[in-house]
Each structure stands twice: as C-alpha cells, then as structure tokens.
Structure 1
Amino acid sequence: MKLPIAAAAVTLALFAAPAFAQDIAAGERSWNKCRACHQLGENAKNGVGPHLNGLFGRHTGEVEGYSYSNANKGANITWDEAVFAEYIKDPRAKIPGTKMVFAGIKNDKEITDLTAFLKQFGKDGKKM
C-alpha cells in the first residue's frame, strides 16, 4: 500500500527539522546569562540593554528611553522566534555594529527554552 504524496511530504517535514519541547524553567536558568544587562517584569527598566518585555513582535530599536546603536535602529527587524534564535547565537553577526557584547548561546535547545521563558512577558511586563 502506497502513501499518498501529501502524507509522505508531511512525514518528511516532521523528521527534517529537530523539534524541541520547551522547558520554561530551563529558560529561566538561561535568562541568568541575560539579566546582567536586561530586565523583565512589571518593574523592568532599561539598563545596559533595553528591557525585554514584549520582545516578540516588536521592531529593533523601539523601546522608549533606550539609546540604541545606529545598527539596531536601522536593522528593520521584527523579533520572532527564528530571528531571535539567529541573533542570540551571534548578535554581532546578525546585526553588525550592535552595542550588545555577548558571546551568544549556541545550543538550539537552550535557545528554545529561553524563548519560551521570554514569551511569557507581555509589553506591560505581566506574565501572559
């Protein structure tokens, strides 16, 4: 019995890319690498870096009161999971000229977990 082409394509797509279950607690531990420069939550303020409340869906260079580099202001990027994953692996490769001095997180699972943790916080800093 043959699989229909569509079913075969879906099966192939499922196995083509690794899938990671998100672990918010592990993401919170990973957040410790970020918190020296960034804040989250209802009382978050800009520090060395901008606060990260409501990061996903926001454009680069748009947090009020933070002094961004020209590179960030001109990057014209909207943060989503894929862009964030690419950026956090090597910020200076994704946005040359950024002020962010960070070696990056190379592990895909850790990035997925950190993303899940960050996505909990809305623009107002409240957990969604």
Structure 2
Amino acid sequence: MIKKTLAAALVTLLPVVAAADSHGMEGDAAAGEKVFKKCKACHQVGEGAENKTGPVLNGVVGRVIGSHEGFKYSGTLADMGAAGDTWTVENLDHFLEKPKDFAKGTKMAFAGLKKEDDRKNVIAYLATFAE
C-alpha cells in the first residue's frame, strides 16, 4: 500500500519537475503554490481558469508579454509584447519583485514579492501550468 502511494505521488510530481526543469527553475513549486495565494485575488491558473482583474497565467513562462487572448493589457505590457519580449524566468523574477519598476505604467497594483525564494517558487509553480 505504501509503495503504491509513493509511486502515485512520484507519477504526479514528474510533470511538475519536468516543467520546472524545462524553464531553468530552481524553485519549489509546492512552496510556490502557497505564495500564489497572494495572486489569486486577480489571477487564475489551472483547468477552467478565466481572466479576472489580471490575465490567466497558464503558460505564462515563456509566453510573449501582454499576449494572453481576451485580456486588455496596459499599453506598457502590450508594447513589450509587440517588441517580442517574453516572460522569461528573469523577466518574471524582475516583474514579480516590483511590477511598476519592471513595466512603468502597468495596471498591476501589486507591490511585489521581496523575497527571492518566494519569486523563484511562484515561477516554478506557474511553470507547471501549460497554456
């Protein structure tokens, strides 16, 4: 029984680890899920996610900035996307640290995540959600 439970847990975690690794993540996706609670007021992830005050974040890691269909972005983020900028791990890290410094004029009111580990963990968590 324990072996079956452990095997099921490993099978569940393999896609998470693979997604994080494919984006160069060093963070802990499980810890990132807890940090993401700060984001849930405005953003959704997972099956059935819908745009709210902020866009759906499925597939955000590696996505062109300001490009999620059906969401009206600030001019700053739309311009970044039009220039071909993407949500790399580095860009997400800078944005999450202090959104208004990364993208002056962004509509995102969130002050940011000051702790580097929190940012790495939430990015690892977001990397587990495909578009």
1:30-76 alpha-carbon deviations (Å, 9 max, x no partner): 00010100000110000000000000111111111111111110023
Higher helix share: 2
Pair member with larger Rg:
1
TM-score by length of 2: 0.76
1:31 is matched with 36
1:67-86 alpha-carbon deviations (Å, 9 max, x no partner): 11111100232001111001
Q: Is the 8 A contact 2:26 2:124 kept in 1?
A: no
1:94-127 alpha-carbon deviations (Å, 9 max, x no partner): 000010001100111111111111100000xxxx
SS at match of 1:102: coil
1:99 is matched with 107
Letter in 2 for 1:98: T
2:78 is matched with 73
1:63 is matched with 68
Q: Tell me the CA shift for residue 22 of structure 1.
A: 2.4
Letter in 2 for 1:102: F
SS at match of 1:75: helix
Q: Is the 8 A contact 2:62 2:86 kept in 1?
A: yes
Letter in 2 for 1:108: E
Name stretches of at least 5 consecutive residues in structure 1 with no aligned partner: 1-19, 124-128
Extract structure 1 runs of 4+ deviating beyond 2 A.
none
Of all paired residues, the percent bearing the same amino acid is 39
SS at match of 1:52: coil
Q: Measure the CA separation in 2 of the matches of 1:47 and 1:122.
A: 18
Letter in 2 for 1:62: S
Q: Measure the CA separation in 1 of the matches of 2:95 and 2:39.
A: 13
TM-score by length of 1: 0.77
1:8 is matched with none
SS at match of 1:31: helix
State the number of aligned residues.
104
Q: Which has the higher contact order (CA 8 A, sep 6+)?
A: 2
